[in-house]
């Protein structure tokens, strides 16, 4: 299991902004992080929608973090791009398991849920001021 390439790039982009001394334009971010401009813009749009990043238009425009780096963690970036993290799809709300029997809690689901919860807790601990 792994995070998607898009999420990997999103983490790098937030890291780039966390270490910037001011606003950065999309082209500079793209070049510094080794991500195509088009893909960078797509990711930046999602990060702006999530409230993690602010965008500014005009000649002095660009992107910057919407809040301090110590208030943004890996879990938030992953969720901005992929949605709620879970180890397997069977623990996501609304998933219907073909193996589930009425009134029985699946031991796999219980353990995958526990592991996912622990992973989410660890991802929350890693803020961008620590990277």
pLDDT digits (tens, 9 = 90+) for 98-130: 776 666 667 788 898 899 999 999 999 999 999
Residue 119 lies in a domain: yes
Quick one: CA dihedral 125, 11, 77, 21, positive or negative? Answer: positive
Residue 131 lies in a domain: no
**Higher pLDDT residue, 105 or 82?**
82
Across residues 80-84, what is the average pLDDT?
91
Assess whether pLDDT exceeds 80 at residue 58: yes
Reading the block at residue 36, the tokens are 């195509």
The SS3 of residue 64 is strand
pLDDT at 100: 67
Residue 94 lies in a domain: yes
Residue 19 lies in a domain: yes
The SS3 of residue 56 is strand
Residue 22 lies in a domain: yes
Q: How many domains does the chain have?
A: 1
- Backbone dihedral angles phi then psi of residue 128, each to the nearest 5 degrees: -75, -10
- Among 36-45, 48-57, 86-95, 110-119, which is the least confidently predicted range? 86-95
Bridge partners, residue 73, by sequence: 127
Q: Which CATH number is 79's domain given?
A: 1.10.10.10
Assess whether pLDDT exceeds 80 at residue 60: yes
Range of the domain at 96: 5-125
- Please give the distance of CA 52 from its chain centroid, rounded to a whole number: 10
Across residues 49-73, what is the average pLDDT?
96
pLDDT at 51: 97
Average pLDDT, the chain: 91
């Amino acid at each position: 299991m792994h995070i998607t390439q898009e999420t990997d790039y999103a983490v790098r982009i937030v890291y780039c902004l966390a270490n910037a001394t001011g606003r950065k334009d999309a082209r500079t971010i793209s070049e510094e992080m080794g991500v195509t401009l088009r893909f960078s813009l797509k990711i930046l749009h999602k990060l702006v929608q999530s409230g993690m990043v602010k965008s500014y238009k005009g000649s002095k425009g660009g992107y910057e973090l919407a809040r301090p780096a110590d208030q943004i963690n890996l879990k938030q970036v992953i969720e901005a791009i992929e949605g709620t993290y879970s180890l397997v799809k069977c623990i996501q709300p609304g998933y219907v398991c073909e193996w589930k029997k009425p009134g029985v809690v699946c031991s796999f689901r219980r353990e995958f849920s526990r592991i996912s919860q622990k992973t989410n807790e660890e991802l929350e601990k890693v803020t961008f001021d620590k990277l």
